[in-house]
Amino acid sequence: MSDQTDSTSIQRDAEAPSGSRRNFLKTTGLSALGAMLGMAVPFERNLSAGFVPVALAQDTGLDLMSGKKGLMVLGDRPLNVETPVHLLDDDVTPYERLFVRMNGLVPQTALDQNAEGWVLTIDGEVETPLELSIDDLKSRFENVTRRLVIECGGNGRAFFQPGTSGNQWTFGAVGCPEWTGVRLADVLKEAGVKDTAVYTGHYGNDVHLSGDEEKEVISRGVPIEKAMEGDAIIVWAMNGEPLSALHGFPLRLIVPGYPASASQKYLNRIWIRDKEHDGAKMTGDSYRIPAYPVAPGTEVPEEDMVVLKEMPVKSIVTFPETGAEVKAGEEVEVRGHAWCGKGDVASVQYSLDFGQTWQEAELEPAANRFAWQRWRAKVTPPQHGYYEVWARAVDQDGIGQPPLSPVWNPRGYANNIQHRIALVAVG
């Protein structure tokens, strides 16, 4: 059963953030109320958008967020939730600790966990357009299970100077769950990709914030070469459970290495295009960066903005939690993860002296390509006082993470600034 079913039984959950509860009706729409409560609401028509049902008020803990423990709500319309870094310590990110990025509203089919009649259409520049049920996908193609990092293109945006518009993600719009599905490449091969194919275009059934069913929420794509590489998968399960309402039930794409905006949730169509896809949030400055480095604050002409593809190399310190108290003179383990949009990370270094000296951390191999890699080190604060642990990862081409923000871009994407935590040594 999916974690999402948590929300159909009334339970206490004092830890769940209250923001979503407060504005839950604005986020999900009135029609969702019955589904959330798991029962009919006969007088639902009398409710207005700002209404907070008693069952959903503080302390009853019944809402879409009920499974997300200790996460930070950046906004609730659309719902955007990030994970504090110390909660990302797991090798496989559990549902409770995976960030949420919605550009629109969770569709009713996902809230109801109703996949009846769900069809994935593959059309456009293909020899044989396909209409596949979820059972077709499961039975006609090889099933694969992979740990794949999913990271929002805007993760780290909060650290750009001057600030850029959009969700002010810090370090926590990333996770590495285990996904089960079929290779996108296998499905496209079955359809027979024509020579004219240039790009994919992805569609889902989530609802525009305006409520207008005709309006696209987000429809992004990837170059056909990336789609055919074999790393991208069409998934129906996360961590062995059916996809939850927030993460794309019943089907989604996972395109590792690219900004997660390419990993369409609620997936019902892949349109093979004969040119770069031009769906919602594919054009203008959405998920685009200047073709050349620009000074902070520069206004960049639209024609000089190019699609953001591979995400840069990155690492985080997930243990201990920043501010942890340790004993002076005693060894303490520090650890975290490292990942890279090109594939495997080459090395991770850490510093205990504000970057004066760097030591090599132990780096575990990835469980599979595009999984994040565990790094570990032992540090010994020589005497009592304030310390920081800094970490930096280096990719296969020798490119590492900058101590300050990387080159500024107008929408604040791909910030792989080094992560650091505070340690207080006592005794």
**In the complex, which residues of this chain contact ligand MTE (CB under 6 A)?**
98-104, 150, 152, 204, 206, 217-218, 246-247, 260-261, 263-266
Is residue 366 a contact residue for Mo ion (CB under 5 A)? no
Is residue 418 a contact residue for Mo ion (CB under 5 A)? no
Q: Which does 263 bind (CB under 5 to 8 A by kind): ligand MTE, Mo ion, none?
A: ligand MTE
Nearer to ligand MTE, 100 or 197 (CB): 100
- Residue 100 Cβ, how far from ligand MTE at the closest point, in Å? 4
Provide the residue count of the chain. Answer: 427
Report helix, strand and coil shares of the chain as percent, to nearest 5: 15, 30, 55
Residue nearest to Mo ion (CB): 152
DSSP 276-298: S---TTTSTTTTEEESS---TT-
Q: Which does 98 bind (CB under 5 to 8 A by kind): Mo ion, ligand MTE, none?
A: ligand MTE
- Contacts of Mo ion in 92-121 (CB under 5 A): 101
Nearer to ligand MTE, 208 or 384 (CB): 208
Parallel/antiparallel/unpaired status of strands 199-204 and 419-426: unpaired
- Residue 93 Cβ, how far from ligand MTE at the closest point, in Å? 10
Q: Which helix (H) or strand (E) holds 188?
A: helix 184-191
Nearer to Mo ion, 262 or 326 (CB): 262
362 burial level (CB within 10 Å; 0-12, 13-18, 19+): exposed
- Residue 369 Cβ, how far from ligand MTE at the closest point, in Å? 20
Place of tokens 């559990």: 94
Shortest CA distance to 171 belongs to which of 376, 380, 401? 401
- Kindly state the DSSP code that residue 137 receives in the 8-state scheme: H
Please choose, out of 8-16, 147-155, 161-169, 371-379, the segment that lies near Mo ion by the rule CB under 5 A: 147-155
Please choose, out of 29-37, 41-49, 144-152, 388-396, the segment that lies near Mo ion by the rule CB under 5 A: 144-152
Strand ranges in 231-344 using DSSP code E only, listed in sequence order: 233-238, 241-242, 252-254, 267-273, 288-290, 305-307, 314-319, 324-327, 332-339
Is residue 152 a contact residue for Mo ion (CB under 5 A)? yes
Q: Which residues bind Mo ion (CB under 5 A)?
A: 101, 152, 260-261
